[in-house]
Amino acid sequence: MDSIEYHLRHLTMVGLNPAKISLTFSLCLRFIPVLAMTTKEVMEAQKARGMHKNMIALIVPIIIRSLKMADDIADAIEARSYNP
């Protein structure tokens, strides 16, 4: 994260905040395995209820769960008064 920030430091000249960009990059990379885990959980829950594979019934709970998670993460960032 620090290295991304360091290499993007000249972007401040065009009005971009390198700290915010590097935070977004790192969050995105972190979310990929989290999403894989959420997918697995939702699939198991649906299998336990005897549901067959259904793209929409799978994606909607994954997105809602991850939106809730994203809300919590945003709150956690605020709570630590991280304000780049």
Q: Between vectors from CA 59 to CA 79 and to CA 75, what angle results, nearest 5°?
A: 5
Quote the least distance from Cβ 43 to other proteins, whole Å. 12
The pair of three-digit structure tokens given for residue 11, joined into one six-digit string: 């972007």
Tell whether residue 56 is a contact of other proteins (CB under 8 A).
Answer: yes
Among 13, 14, 32, 48, binds other proteins (CB under 8 A): 32
Nearest CA among 28, 24, 14 for reference residue 84:
24
DSSP state of 38: H
Give me the residues that bind other proteins (CB under 8 A), please. Answer: 20, 23-25, 27-29, 31-32, 34-36, 39, 55-56, 59-60, 63-64, 66-68, 70-71, 73-74, 77-78, 82-83
